[in-house]
Amino acid sequence: MNALRNFVRNEDGITAIEYALMAAAIAAAIAAGVVVLGDKLTASLTYISGLVKSS
């Protein structure tokens, strides 16, 4: 019975799950940003590449 109480009171697993959820949310935000800004970023880098090649 004490082992069950200790298991329920142990918060280490909860902390790991919270960190995993935060990491997943950050990854989703980065992915959304890449999708939204992807074409503009590609155009900008292509423009800069053209400037570097011509100089």
CA 52 to CA 55: how far, in whole Å? 5
Sign for the pseudo-dihedral over CA of 14, 17, 19, 25: negative
Mean pLDDT of the chain: 85
The predicted structure's pLDDT at residue 46: 93
- State pTM to two decimals: 0.54
pLDDT at 8: 67
Residue 5, token pair as written in the block: 């109480």
